[in-house]
Structure 1
Amino acid sequence: MFTPGFVQAKSAKNQGELVVLFHGLGNRAACFDRMKQALEQALPTASMVALTSMEAMQSIHLSIKEQAETSFKELASKVESLYDRSILLVGHSMGAQTAYAFFQANKHRLNIKGLVALAAPWEGVPGARVDAAMLAHHLNKPIVDDLSTLSLSLGHPKTYLEEQLMVNVQANQAVCLCPGGKDLMEDSLWLSEVKTLLRDETLPILAIGGGQSDFRTLLNKKGAPRFKDLNSIYTFFVVGTKYPNLTGHHDMQIPLYSQHALNIVPKGKKNFKRVLIKDAFHSTHILGIPVPRNKAMLSHPRVLHRVAQFAKSVLK
């Protein structure tokens, strides 16, 4: 039985393509400025909308489904002939989850052609389990020494990174008490629903994961210390293991297995494409330290290229 949305979508090509960008937890639409430029060059006939209704605290205080509902209202108020557009959804981190919830809620009335999931926590964020007590228990002398060395090498006081680590852990614990944060916990109702839906999903999805987990790269110079103990414990905090094997890879915030839904989507599933950008960080800063230029997920040249390729293929 044909729905009105499906019938209207038949004329989508004549209305121009639409790319909708969903930012991550606590972030802002401006984080997509570089990606918007790249996509505008690759898709000259397409319109770009970086959603603003979920900026900052809104993405924390509302559940993912509530964010998807609010995002639809914003999009409908900004885009003419919304039901007649071919649409690509692009989400970063939590924004990819919101984009997927948006798709599930609107797939029968909008002509959504694909989803780009950038560093998405498909299987949750294990680092949310780390609290102040756990952090204090694991900060032995070799790790504190690494933190001190890195702090001084970056021009900060000796205890700067140790203090930043504690601040981040405390902030994360507060976020996890809010609806948006709760939805990203490994055992949340939302992620349980995602696990059921994603396995048999037919929508074309490009899952791009980052794999930069070495603090030495923040110094961006040859001969930097290895920070072996710091890298190991940080991997344990983010992933849940001290061993940097396949499951130990991460982007400083989310494990690669979660970014690639390795325990949900069967390998070889044709519409679920996995890409690893080994030197991509999750965001622009780690513990308040800027990452090297163009190494953050949303500005990395190889990420931009892959997103543009995928956009062209699904919106053709």
Structure 2
Amino acid sequence: MSYIFYRFPLVLFFLFLFPNFVQGKLDKRQSNTLIILFHGLGNHAASFNTMKEKLEQAFPAVSVVALSSVEGMKSISLSIEEQSAINFEELSTKVEDLAQKSIILIGHSQGGLRAYAFLRKYEHLNIKGLVALATPWEGVPGARVDAEMLAHHLTVPVLNDLRELSLDLGYAQTDLEKQLILNVQDNQSVCLFPGGKDLIEGSAFLREVKKSLPNVPIPILAIGGGQTDFSALLTSRKRYRFKALNDMYTFFVVGKKHLNQYHDMQIPLYSQHAFNMLPKAKCNFKRVLIKDAFHSTHVLKIPVPKYKSMLEHPAVLHAVIQFAKTIVK
């Protein structure tokens, strides 16, 4: 200790007398930081409740705002560009001195693309980073599945798996079969609206994303889920393989052209990680895979096990907080 003091007497003297100085500087920097949360398609700001709470605990002086101006049907009926403009108007009324803030954007699913559109549209803001959670950078191949395709693939083995899963979960035998049919019908309807059209592979919006993404200067963290097994929805220890159902569902979500078969029950991993848009690794575009994370809180109508959905998974929360720490230094 005497040697250290001899070499650095003024530094140690300063730290001993002013133990709160460093923390004070950190608090001041945090108080000027704003984290903005963008919910997914058809969802609500409340979907971020757990993540918002964890962020506020990790960064007590940081302002965390979950945007609510395009909740529900607005995120479907409006284009992503229109939604980002409405989000900006909302934010401008909620946050004073917005242009003076250091900003971190966090978006889930369609909200990740809305956050990206926000980043591109409002370049005058001091945006320091973007976290994209299960974001369909390259679109949602599942949008191509219609009633005819579904009927063709509802083979006897698939129906047997669906009925086994339905019974194991305490539903009537044909409940999940009916729910799958309803889901396909709903998805086809959503794709008729601007917010849904923007998510279709090759849409005009996604073509613009493909052009601009390689040139974005700020750090982006793309967190993807890789849960492909329906047996993970069972809370009991019983494990039925559901191979036919898993294979069919993976084909619907991913498409047969892609070698990487990971998905999160809604979006293929290659899309979540923008593999084809950024085939070569970029130092400011980081990819993280959480293998057991589901896209949302339900698959069909089945509740996802606690803490396994993208916005509540402990590994996802940890990755988000660590990324934020690199900015709120």
- TM-score using structure 2 length: 0.90
Aligned to 2:307: 294
Determine the structure 2 residue equivalent to 1:140.
155
The residue that corresponds to 1:262 in the other structure is 275
Partners in 1 of 2:148 and 2:118 — Cα distance? Answer: 37
Cα gap change, 1:65 to 1:180, in 2 (>3 Å):
same
Relative to structure 1, is the Cα distance of residues 75 and 147 closer, same or farther in structure 2, using a 3 angstrom cutoff? same
**Secondary structure of 1:233's match?**
helix
Match of 1:103 among 119, 141, 153: 119
Provide the residue aligned with 1:47 in structure 2. Answer: 63
**Partner residue, 1:4:** none
1:30-109 matched pairs, under 5 angstroms? 30-107=46-123, 109=124
- 1:1-24 per-residue CA deviation (whole Å, 9 max, x = no partner) reads xxxxxxxxxxx9485210000000
- Of residues 181, 193, 199, the one that matches 1:178 is 193
Q: How far 1:268 moved relative to its partner?
A: 2.5
CA contact (8 A) 2:30 2:59 kept: no
Matches within 5 A, 1:219-258: 219-241=234-256, 247-258=260-271
Give the one of 144, 147, 169 matched to 1:129: 144
RMSD over aligned Cα atoms: 1.3
* Contact preservation (8 Å) 2:222, 2:286: yes
Give yes or no for contact 1:84–1:111 (8 Å, CA) kept in 2: yes
1:309 aligns with 2:322: yes
Q: In structure 2, what is the Cα distance between the partners aligned to 1:14 and 1:242?
A: 46
**Bigger radius of gyration:** 2
Among 201, 212, 237, the residue aligned to 2:227? 212
Offset at 1:242? 9.1
CA distance 1:138–1:199, shift in 2 (3 Å): same
Evaluate the alpha carbon distance shift between residue 314 and residue 14 of structure 1 in structure 2; reply closer, same or farther with a 3 A threshold: closer
Q: 1:203 aligns with which of 209, 218, 222?
A: 218
CA drift at 1:201: 1.7
Secondary structure of the residue that 1:248 maps to in structure 2?
A: coil
**2:32 is aligned with 1:16:** yes
CA deviation profile, 1:110-150 (whole Å, cap 9, x unmatched):
10000000000000000000001110011010000000000
2:31 and 2:62 in contact (8 A); partners too? no
1:225 and 1:242 map into 2 onto residues whose CA distance is: 28
Q: Mind listing any 5+ residue stretches in structure 2 that lack a counterpart?
A: 1-27
Deviation (angstroms), 1:42: 1.3
Aligned residues with identical type, % of pairs? 62
Residue type matched to 2:60 in 1? P
Query: What are the ranges of 5 or more consecutive residues in structure 1 without an aligned counterpart?
Result: 1-11
- TM normalised by structure 1 equals 0.93
In the alignment, the residues of structure 2 paired with residue 183 and residue 85 of structure 1 have an alpha-carbon distance, to the nearest angstrom, of 30
Q: Secondary structure at the match of 2:251?
A: helix
CA distance in structure 2 between the aligned counterparts of 1:127 and 1:181, rounded to whole angstroms = 12
Matched, 1:190 2:205: yes
Q: Which residue of 2 aligns with 1:8?
A: none
- 2:103 aligns to what SS in structure 1? strand
Q: Which residue of 2 aligns with 1:283?
A: 296
Give the AA of the match of 2:221: L
